[in-house]
Structure 1
Amino acid sequence: MTTLSFELPDGTLQDVEVTRLLNAGYAGREQDEVQAHIAELAELGVPGPTTTPALYPVSPYLAQQTREVSVQHGKTSGEAEWALVITDDGVLLTVACDHTDRALEVHGVAWSKNASPDVLGRTAWRLDDVRDHLDDITLRAWVRTESGEELIQDSSLGALLSPDYWLEVLADMGLRDSGTVLISGTVPMIHGVDQFAAAWRVEMADPVTGLTIGVDYDVVPMPEPIG
């Protein structure tokens, strides 16, 4: 099992053994926009879901707090997201980047989600402490290119289905247990920015408290296979 460790705003540490990892997909709050996105992906050969929003089980060990993500080829990229982490003491909220194999995605979204890790932040907030202003929290991502960092996603938690929505889904499924981690689904990427980058950085910022949670990692190519 993977154990994640989070620093909370009061300085305490919370360790969580991940028993279940779930990735939400097509989880925008405006489902008309989601359907338009599905149509765009279909033109690229990505199969659409049978229902929206979608929820994909992912191997629990893919929940990681790492500075490097190893990849097998150049067609992988991250996605700015938030993550719910259910503990014995309540629900935590942190930032995440869902690294996805885009070449595999055309054969199956669920497969592509299991090809690379979900990278989570090392700090977290208690959901109860931010619930009354969740929609105001910003969610941004940058990629590192030869010319420096470039903004690729710029939105807020208000663009996505809320944590409470997903907590109800988990409860209905009998999955709202300590050790469950749910990743939110992502927000649109800025057109014209190359997502196949050497590094990703995601930041979630709370304008009320002034606190931020960030995650960043390098994308590291594996050696060429033999055979």
Structure 2
Amino acid sequence: MPVFTFQTDQGPVSIAISKLIVAGWTGRNAAAVQHHIEELAELGVPAPSSVPLYYQLGPELLTQAPVITALGPATSGEVEPLIVADADGALWLGLASDHTDRALETISVAKSKQACPKPIAQTLWRFDSDSANLDDLILSAHILEQGKAGWTQYQTGTLAAIKPLAELLSALPGGRLAPGAALLCGTLPALGGIRTATDFRMALQDPVSGRTITHQYQIATLPIIS
């Protein structure tokens, strides 16, 4: 299983992650979620069997590398809160990108998520330290697009747009995140629509304390040989 070293306010912490779960369709506005499901259905993306839906993926997809490799040009990132349970079951809050194969998504959402690495930031906060103001935390993402100069804002919003993280945790088997497991908690709408990029930059900001978690990665695209 992969072992990651994170920076925390208690110093470096190493956590072995043996299970990866990606929560989808986690928007707090049920009507907006249903509208999005219907929009995607028109593009050929299968509707979820339940809302929210928990995808089980291989933990080896997680990476802190500055460059990821994707097969074909039709992939893109999604900024998401990350929750990690260490070996003692203590919860940590971080930042991740649910990088996804958009072409494969029309065939199977689960397969499209398993097809791409999941970049994660190198910083974690104690989950309990932010539990009182989780809805105020700000998620954002910027992209570098092929042929365009400068960073473009791609996603922005607070965690109030996502189902309460405690609610997502309680819906897991046993009502909790098992030790050694990681949970990606859902994303925000893409400004201007979902699209590809050469680079992805993301942040999680606490406006109360002023703390920020950031991560940036580049997408190296491999040709599809047939």
Equivalent position amino acid for 2:5 in 1: S
| Aligned residues of 1:142 and 1:153 also touching (Cα < 8 A) | yes
Following TM superposition, by how much is the alpha carbon of 1:32 offset from its aligned partner in structure 2, in angstroms?
Answer: 1.0
Partner of 1:35: 34
Following TM superposition, by how much is the alpha carbon of 1:165 offset from its aligned partner in structure 2, in angstroms?
Answer: 1.1
The 5 A counterparts of 1:134-213 are: 134-145=134-145, 146-172=148-174, 176-191=177-192, 195-213=195-213
Question: Does 104-113 or 141-150 show the bigger shift?
Answer: 141-150
Question: Does 65-74 or 120-129 show the bigger shift?
Answer: 65-74
In 2, Cα distance between the equivalents of 1:51 and 1:121? 29
Following TM superposition, by how much is the alpha carbon of 1:157 offset from its aligned partner in structure 2, in angstroms?
Answer: 0.9
Question: Does 147-156 or 82-91 show the bigger shift?
Answer: 82-91
Gaps of 5+ in 1: none
In 2, Cα distance between the equivalents of 1:100 and 1:222? 15
| Aligned residues of 1:143 and 1:195 also touching (Cα < 8 A) | no
TM-score by length of 2: 0.94
- Are residues 1:97 and 2:103 paired? no
- Would the alpha carbon gap of residues 206 and 178 (structure 1) be closer, same or farther in structure 2, given more than 3 Å must change? same
Following TM superposition, by how much is the alpha carbon of 1:171 offset from its aligned partner in structure 2, in angstroms?
Answer: 4.7
Partner of 1:72: 71
Equivalent position amino acid for 1:149 in 2: W
| Aligned residues of 1:152 and 1:195 also touching (Cα < 8 A) | no
In 1, Cα distance between the equivalents of 2:62 and 2:127? 19
Equivalenced residues, count: 223
In 1, Cα distance between the equivalents of 2:80 and 2:64? 14
Partner of 1:16: 15
| Aligned residues of 2:89 and 2:178 also touching (Cα < 8 A) | no
1:90-128: per-residue Cα shift (whole Å, max 9, x none)? 100001111000000000000001001111110010000
Following TM superposition, by how much is the alpha carbon of 1:163 offset from its aligned partner in structure 2, in angstroms?
Answer: 1.9
In 2, Cα distance between the equivalents of 1:169 and 1:89? 17
| Aligned residues of 1:24 and 1:55 also touching (Cα < 8 A) | yes
Partner of 1:53: 52
Partner of 1:122: 122
Q: Over aligned residue pairs, what C-alpha RMSD do you find?
A: 1.5
Partner of 1:113: 113
Partner of 1:132: 132
Gaps of 5+ in 2: none
| Aligned residues of 2:67 and 2:217 also touching (Cα < 8 A) | yes
Following TM superposition, by how much is the alpha carbon of 1:166 offset from its aligned partner in structure 2, in angstroms?
Answer: 2.0
What secondary structure, in the 3-state scheme, does the structure 2 residue paired with 1:148 have? coil
What secondary structure, in the 3-state scheme, does the structure 1 residue paired with 2:35 have? helix
In 1, Cα distance between the equivalents of 2:42 and 2:200? 26
